[in-house]
Amino acid sequence: MSYRWQPIYDRLGISIPDFDNTTLAEHIARHAAQRPNAPALQYFTRTLDYSEYDRLVSQMAHGLASLGIGRGDVVGLHMPNIPQYPIALAAISRLGAIGSGVSPLLAPPELAHQLNDASVKVLLSLSDLLPAVQAMPEVTIHLSHIVVCGARDFLDAPALNVPDLPMAATRFLDLIAEQPTDMAQTPVAPDDIFMIQYTGGTTGRPKGAQLSHRSLMHNPVQVGQGDVPAIHFEEVYNSAFPLFHVAGLTFTLGATINGAHSMLVPNPRDIDNIVDLMLAYPPTRIGAVPALYDMIMAHPRIDEVDFSKLKVAKTGAAPMTEATRAMFDATIGVNLLADVFGMTETGPCYTFHPLKAFRRGSIGLPVPGAEVRIMDVETGTRELPAGEAGEIVSSGPQTMKGYLNLPDETTHALREFDGKRWMFSGDVGYMDEDGYFFLCDRAKDMLVVGGFKVFSVEVEDKLKAHPAIAESAVIGQPDEARPGNDIVHLFVQLADTSRNADPDALRSDILDFMRTNMAAYKIPKAIHIIEAIPLTPVGKIDKKALRAQL
């Protein structure tokens, strides 16, 4: 296969990896046989080695089987990053079943929708989240059993009290007690569905992306081709990405593939815990959104952390400012940051930055084995030349099989040409002459004013230079007076030093700044000063919430 970017791959020694069809549970069993005492999971002060991890996976698989779970049945995982999540995830893979990450932040109606849409048969839920289960407006169609997980189950906690629930319930520790400690792997094909991961639902209800064993187990290997090679049983992975999100899921899968010691961080805003883990177990690989890097580097004990073994620090989900990059280089180390980019539907990464080939402002090169193109936004049928902005599309083994129960949405997102299936991302960007990709905006966030395109990301990036602005977000509202055009709204979160300033004077100053630095059609019609720009669980600006405010 010939790539425009092949000369860069050759220069960096990057190759296209083969897929070996090893399931998550098989990786754990292999590590347990090779190095049973190697640490696998770290949860506060509790360390689970690979022997115990493999034993618990088998017991959990037997427990799920006793509840009627078999090949193709769906299990919901409704909890933060606690040991029960990766244990159940691996048990699901051993049974040939299907998992679905369920955000702890879902309101009862949203929870009911996902459980019904995915046909969840058994739900593992954190005990503290059971009120949302009890408050669901309807008893879900397929759900027959709830496994109640305690945040302190692995910390010598007292037995949980299980409240009255609309269906049968069992405590996690009771379910696995006395179960056999080994279980054979149920045969699975590479294209069998492993997880149904729900999109963020920025427009309409969240959609279930069906991700196969091939897409999820292969993507960490693809992304890892640009890093310092991993050494089995010597890696320490530290990430606060939630496991119910595809970023946290694949970071953990990569850790397990490499026989790593993986930190479990149940609360991504508990910076004390994250830094304590770094102090006790110096990381070799980190994964975090830019905002979390800012919080980690601001911690009073960060200078005590030993970063001498750190090989790579992954970042994504949101742009990283130059100030954060500079602080990272000064605090943690240089030439360690590696951006990744993608979406739930692409398992998740289809572009990445090899450590030695970073290009400022870019989202990187295609991950090895993927193909990426720029197509015209209007028809999606014409490939555009370098330098011209259009919709980013990708193809490769990391791509989802389709949206669950949404054939029309699947047909729109996955289109065939040149003998391949291409995922239309909804992102607008361009490719330079060397094959690096650059993001302009989300298609739905790209505004049209007087026939001109306004890229919200570009405006937001330029506003970072204004001293009064901590964060900003540009939102479009349909212009009823001019069909096909948008009214530009700017939401602003003020820097601490400007919070007591006169709002009208600030708006005037911001407008003057924009008139000096931007074309007139990009200037907003309204500036909304708010307490804080809302963020999604992984640190992206929540423009859905801002649109609701309009």
Residue 96's pLDDT is what?
98
Contact present, 314 and 286 (Cβ < 8 Å): yes
Rounded to an integer, the average pLDDT of 335-342 is 91
- The CATH code for residues 450-549 is 3.30.300.30
- Give dist(CA 346, CA 210) in Å, integer: 10
DSSP 461-478: HHHTTSTTEEEEEEEEEE
Nearest to 120 by CA among 76, 84, 78: 76
Residue with tokens 């102090």: 279
In this model, does residue 140 exceed pLDDT 60? yes
Confidence of residue 386 (pLDDT cuts 50, 70, 90): very high
Neighbouring residues of 64: CB distance < 8 A, sequence distance ≥ 6: 75, 88, 91, 92, 95, 97, 122
User: What's the Rg (C-alpha) of the chain?
Assistant: 24
Mean per-residue pLDDT for 253-260? 98
Q: What is the pLDDT of residue 200?
A: 63
For residue 443, what pLDDT is reported?
Answer: 65
* Mean pLDDT computed over every residue of the chain: 91
pLDDT digits (tens, 9 = 90+) for 188-214: 999 999 999 998 644 457 899 999 999
Q: How many CB atoms lie within 10 A of CB 42?
A: 21
Mean pLDDT of 91-118: 94
Please state which of the ranges 273-287, 372-386, 422-436, 534-548 shows the lowest mean pLDDT. 534-548
Average the pLDDT over each of 213-217, 290-294, 367-371 and give the range with the smallest value: 290-294
Grade residue 281 by pLDDT with cuts at 50, 70 and 90.
very high
| Domain locations along the chain | 22-189, 450-549
Reported confidence tier of residue 479, pLDDT bands at 50, 70, 90: confident
Distance CA 53, CA 194 (A): 20
pLDDT digits (tens, 9 = 90+) for 20-35: 899 999 999 999 999 9
The highest-confidence range among 150-154, 313-317, 424-428, by mean pLDDT, is 150-154
Q: How far is CA 195 from CA 101, 120, 182, in A?
A: 8, 12, 23
- DSSP secondary structure string, 348-416? SEEEE--TT---TT--BEEPTT-EEEEE-TTTS-SBPPTT--EEEEEESTTS-SEETT-HHHHHHHEEE
pLDDT at 315 over 60: yes
Q: How far is CA 36 from the centre of its chain?
A: 30
Task: Name residue 194's amino acid.
Answer: F
**pLDDT given at position 424:** 96
Protein fold of 22-189: Rossmann fold (3.40.50)
Tokens at 165, concatenated: 């629930």
- The model's confidence at residue 460, banded by pLDDT at 50, 70 and 90, is confident
Highest mean pLDDT among 1-10, 150-159, 406-415: 406-415
Backbone angles phi, psi at 164, to 5 degrees: -65, 130
Q: What is the DSSP letter of 231?
A: -
Can you give the pLDDT at residue 5? 79
pLDDT of residue 1: 40
Q: What is the DSSP letter of 19?
A: P
Q: Which of 288-292, 328-332, 375-379 has maximum average pLDDT? A: 328-332
Q: Please say if the pLDDT value at position 538 is more than 70.
A: no
State residue 203's pLDDT score.
45
In the numeric block, which tokens belong to residue 145? 């059993």
Higher pLDDT, 178 or 6: 178
Condensed to tens digits (0 to 9), the pLDDT of residues 417-430 reads 988 999 999 888 99
For tokens 């090949």, the residue is 71
